[in-house]
Each structure stands twice: as C-alpha cells, then as structure tokens.
Amino acid sequence: MKVVIVSSLVTFLVMFVLAGLFNGLVINEFVTDNIDSAMLLDSPDLSMIALGYALLALLMTLIYPRVVSRASYSVRSGFLFGMVAGIFWLLPYALVLHGVYRFPLLGLLIDPAWALLEQGIGGAIIGLVHAKFSKPESSSF
C-alpha cells in the first residue's frame, strides 16, 4: 500500500507541474492563437485538472505492476510504460477534440507528442518507486 501512495503522489505532483509549465509557458500562445476563446473557461479549473492527474497517476501506479514483471521494475521500464499510458490517455482525446471542435490539426501532433514525454516521466517515477520498494517475497513458512 505504501508503494501505491508514494508512487501516486509523486507521479501526480510531477505530471501536474509539468502540464502546468507546458500549457502555461510552452504552448500558451499556440492555444490563444488557435483555439476559439468561447471554448475556454475564463480561468482553468485547477481542482478538476488536479483530480484528472491524480486519477491518471493512481491508475498508472495500479496498472504498472500488472503489466511489468517485478524483475523488470526500473526507470526505463517505467518510462516505456508511461509512454504507452500517454498514448492511451491523450491520442484518442485529441482525435475526439479534432472531430468535435475547431481544434487545429497541429494539436493532433503536439498533445500526443507531449503526452509521450510527460507520462513517460510519470512512468519513470512509478518504475523507480516500485524498484525501490520491491523486496523479494518472503516465504510464509
């Protein structure tokens, strides 16, 4: 249980901060220039965004040990796992946005590419925490 709490919390914090930096600094002008302001809230609802990232971090933390063998727990396996999670998390969403809103085609490249890095880093943290907390199972005898 400790690994789930630590992994989820640290992963959430890192991905949430990275998302804020990316959206607030790196692509802010792109969003302003290309997305209809009528689609945007006056200010982002940080509590909903945080809840989304907390749920993503928890789900990634719970799924990781089910798809990666204990012997393979590492930053590398976590990063690769996180990249896959990023594809599952954002590529379908970007396609939906493009199909419903006047969402720029370039956004179909930017968001999923960023998700590969952001969730890759989150996965690397999960792999690291799992590797540090993993101990050989002791015999019950």
Could you say which DSSP state residue 140 is in?
Answer: -
Percentage of the residues of the chain whose pLDDT score is greater than 70: 95
Confidence of residue 136 (pLDDT cuts 50, 70, 90): low
- CA distance linking residue 77 with residue 7, whole number of Å: 15
Name the nearest CA neighbour of 133 among 49, 23, 10: 10
pLDDT exceeds 50 at position 139: no
- CA distance linking residue 21 with residue 8, whole number of Å: 20
Could you report the per-residue pLDDT of 106-121, keeping only the tens digit for each?
878 888 899 999 999 9
Confidence of residue 135 (pLDDT cuts 50, 70, 90): low
Could you report the per-residue pLDDT of 8-56, keeping only the tens digit for each?
999 999 999 999 999 889 988 887 787 777 777 778 899 999 999 999 9
Kindly write down the DSSP assignment for every residue of 25-92, as one continuous string: IISHHHHHHHS-GGGS-SS--HHHHHHHHHHHHHHHHHHHHHHS-GGG-SHHHHHHHHHHHHHHHHHH
C-beta separation of 90 from 115 below 8 A = yes
pLDDT exceeds 60 at position 128: yes
Could you report the per-residue pLDDT of 47-102, keeping only the tens digit for each?
999 999 999 999 999 999 999 999 999 999 999 999 999 999 888 888 888 888 77
The reported pTM is: 0.86
